[in-house]
Amino acid sequence: MTDPSATAGALSDRCAPQRVASGSDLLTTFNAAGVLNAADVHVARRVAALCGGPVDEQVLLAAALAVRAVRTGSTCVELDRIADLAAAGDDQTPLPWPAPDALRAALAASPLVIGGGTGPLRPLALAESADGPLLYLRKFFRQEQSIRQILDARAASRPAVDAAALTAALDAAFGAGDTSGYDRQRAAAALAATSWTTVLAGGPGTGKTYTVARILAVMETLFGGDLRIGLCAPTGRAAAQLQTAIGEYRREHQTLRSDPAAVTVHRLLGSRPDGTFVRGAGNRLPFDVVVVDETSMLPVTMMCRLLESLRADTRLILVGDPHQLVSVEAGAVLADLVDRDVTAGAGAVLPDAFTAVCDLAAADFDSAETSALARGVITLRRGHRYGDRIGEVAEAVNAGDADRVIELIGHGARSEHPVRLIDPDDADVVRTEAVGWARSLREAARSGDARGAVVALRGHRVLCAHRDGPYGVAGWSRRVIGWISDDLGGAAGTGRWYPGEPLLVTANDRTQDVYNGDSGVVIDDAGGLAAVFERGHEIKRLHPSQLADAIPVYAMTIHRSQGSQFGTVTVILPPPDAELLTRELLYTAITRAEREVNIVGTPESLRAAVGRRVARASGLRTDLVEVVSPA
């Protein structure tokens, strides 16, 4: 169910409602109020025209809201909550929202939902769920149904695994394991070996990738070494990071023989220029195990394609952090699967081989986690990267507990707490941080110290919610460049390559093996210049001119920072009414930091961020029954 505190729509609609030509129908009223944009209106009218007959005005409005839902990241509209969408409009006058019951009845009788005399075309789907009636564009309804059916079919059986062999493989991969408490990572590997589908969730630094490498080693042992592995992630950068991490594990431990390449999900499925895919139900992937990293960024359409391309006897391991920002496309499938509450899964029991090798009596799973385990969902909780105090704040943000966040964090630049709220008028601390960062970058870069330069590069980063405006990347970049030029002099911000210049890659370039979101730094290199990038323990060098799409980076958006870590993070909070300012955004920003977080903003903005959730309506969390004729 969608959280009632959630904002309607993931992306801000406030700025440009894109008016359609004036008229007096419901669509133009809702367009004028900023709830619908011009594309929502045009698509709804075209969809209605397809059915050949007259369409009830309220049904037409609902169709436009279904189009809007997809545009703002949801797969459907919750009819009982449509009036909440008004929050996205900027008109204060009350809108003529249809009553949900009447709208449901009108939809259930509409040819757009049940078909009409002119043919079988039914562009909308209506379904009953625990969250009330849901209205979909049929394409997204089909995709969700497909995901649901495939996952339920996969959950209906378990791979046959010998408990003694599994114990031996786990011991080889994990050794004595985590002796400071119950070893969830080992339990995750046992679950992945004994389930067709496993969701491995956890916050940053909880050891998800660490665990994936060991899961693969366990699987390889069980398969006698002949394991076909498919590694993928939604973005090129996440795929490259996964491959580096698995590669390093291989080098350090002898327990994994395969050296699998990680690719984007698109590439794994063989995406063609026309938008179709080589892989699908008729041409399935040839793997024994498929791992998807950063699954939170996978939209519903790609999840559907991936599942349809899997053989029934391929183990699927979905890895990610359900609290992070989700894909800009429709769907938040990972979070849906973690929170899924379906009667189909209610009777699910843990596989015998799993209970045989994991001492659940000694485990610290609560009852919800134990029932999630039976659905193949396991969450790692112990942070291995940053201090507990940052983790504690991140958890309070996730819990939506603004009072606790305010109580936990430090206030003012001189606070000892690693997470501090800094008054926007007191930006000196950011200046000190940014100039110190630039100085250490330059020193390492000028002496040709590539390792020192990449280490300095991830020492600090300014993160903003927006690209533009006074709280955005453009403004803060100018500010940081100004400080650096004033305090250190030199070429910052002049557009020429210079040693110590921090770079951000803005497009994937597989030939050079650099990806959108990669950060590098220019250094002096044997008389010339080189752009250097960190790849695990290795350093990648390119001449700056080999980078087709790279820009200087003095600040970046929180969206783009996903998957990166920095020593200190400075987060610029916009004013409380900025719709982009959400819990997921704040959580993602805070958890980029390894040592310290400076939050530049007011307590009101911080509270607004913790209180506002990205709303992604979807039917995946509950059971659905499609309405195919009037009730």
Ligand X SMILES: Nc1ncnc2c1ncn2[C@@H]1O[C@H](COP(=O)(O)OP(=O)(O)OP(=O)(O)O)[C@@H](O)[C@H]1O
Known binding residues: 202-209
Tell me how far apart the alpha carbons of residues 84 and 615 are, in angstroms, rounded to a whole number.
Answer: 11
Please say which residue, 15 or 176, places its beta carbon nearer to ligand X.
176
Please say which residue, 31 or 211, places its beta carbon nearer to ligand X.
211
Please say which residue, 84 or 178, places its beta carbon nearer to ligand X.
178
Q: Look up residue 260 and give its two tokens.
A: 């699998």
Tell me how far apart the alpha carbons of residues 122 and 108 are, in angstroms, rounded to a whole number.
Answer: 12
Tell me how far apart the alpha carbons of residues 245 and 175 are, in angstroms, rounded to a whole number.
Answer: 19
Question: What's the alpha-carbon Rg for the chain, to the nearest Å?
Answer: 26
CB of 289: closest distance to ligand X in angstroms?
Answer: 17
CB of 206: closest distance to ligand X in angstroms?
Answer: 4
Please say which residue, 182 or 210, places its beta carbon nearer to ligand X.
210
Q: Where is the binding site for ATP, in residues?
A: 202-209
Report yes or no: 263 and 232 within 8 Å, Cβ to Cβ: yes
**What residues does 127 pair with on adjacent strands?**
134, 626
Tell me how far apart the alpha carbons of residues 405 and 178 are, in angstroms, rounded to a whole number.
Answer: 30
Report yes or no: 423 and 602 within 8 Å, Cβ to Cβ: yes
Please say which residue, 189 or 303, places its beta carbon nearer to ligand X.
189
Query: From residue 569, how far is each of 191, 460, 470, 598 by CA, in Å?
Result: 35, 6, 19, 6
Please say which residue, 209 or 255, places its beta carbon nearer to ligand X.
209
Q: Is 272 exposed, middle or buried (CB count within 10 Å of its CB: 0-12, 13-18, 19+)? A: exposed
Residues making up the chain, counted from first to last: 631
Tell me how far apart the alpha carbons of residues 510 and 513 are, in angstroms, rounded to a whole number.
Answer: 5
Tell how strand 502-505 and strand 550-552 pair up: antiparallel
CA atoms within 13 A on the CB side of 468: 1
Task: Report the SS3 class of residue 118.
Answer: coil
Please say which residue, 321 or 395, places its beta carbon nearer to ligand X.
321
Please say which residue, 207 or 234, places its beta carbon nearer to ligand X.
207
For the stretch 230-251, what's the b/e string if a residue is b when 16 or more beta carbons lie within 10 angstroms of its beta carbon? Answer: bbbbbbbbbbbbbbbbbbbbbe
Residue 41 CA to chain centroid, in angstroms? 29
Residue at shortest CB range from ligand X:
207
Task: Report the SS3 class of residue 631.
Answer: coil
**Helix ranges (DSSP H) in 470-572:** 473-488, 558-561
Residue 131 CA to chain centroid, in angstroms? 23
CB of 185: closest distance to ligand X in angstroms?
Answer: 6
Give every CB contact of residue 419 below 8 A, 6+ residues apart in sequence.
389, 390, 393, 408, 409, 410, 590, 596, 597, 599
CB of 567: closest distance to ligand X in angstroms?
Answer: 14
Please say which residue, 143 or 209, places its beta carbon nearer to ligand X.
209
Query: From residue 448, how far is each of 489, 521, 524 by CA, in Å?
Result: 20, 11, 5
Nearest one of 492, 505, 508, 490 to 544, comparing CA atoms: 505
CB of 179: closest distance to ligand X in angstroms?
Answer: 10
Please say which residue, 26 or 245, places its beta carbon nearer to ligand X.
245
CB of 383: closest distance to ligand X in angstroms?
Answer: 8
- Through-space distance between the first and last CA atoms of the chain, rounded to whole angstroms: 23
Tell me how far apart the alpha carbons of residues 586 and 558 are, in angstroms, rounded to a whole number.
Answer: 8
CB of 208: closest distance to ligand X in angstroms?
Answer: 3
Phi, psi of 557 (to 5 degrees): -75, 155
Nearest one of 189, 190, 258 to 226, comparing CA atoms: 258
Please say which residue, 321 or 336, places its beta carbon nearer to ligand X.
321
Please say which residue, 69 or 212, places its beta carbon nearer to ligand X.
212
Please say which residue, 185 or 598, places its beta carbon nearer to ligand X.
185
CB of 174: closest distance to ligand X in angstroms?
Answer: 8
CB of 319: closest distance to ligand X in angstroms?
Answer: 8
Tell me how far apart the alpha carbons of residues 352 and 369 are, in angstroms, rounded to a whole number.
Answer: 18
Q: Look up residue 364 and give its two tokens.
A: 């610290």
DSSP for 443-460 reads: HHHHTT-HHHHHHHHTTE
Give every CB contact of residue 368 below 8 A, 6+ residues apart in sequence.
none
For the stretch 152-187, what's the b/e string if a residue is b when 16 or more beta carbons lie within 10 angstroms of its beta carbon? Answer: eebbeebeebebeebeebbeebbeebeeeebbbbbb
Phi, psi of 540 (to 5 degrees): -100, 135
Please say which residue, 272 or 384, places its beta carbon nearer to ligand X.
384
CB of 249: closest distance to ligand X in angstroms?
Answer: 9
Q: Look up residue 134 and give its two tokens.
A: 């849901």
CB of 476: closest distance to ligand X in angstroms?
Answer: 24
Residue numbers of the site for ligand X (CB under 6 A)?
178, 185, 202, 204-210, 321, 384-385
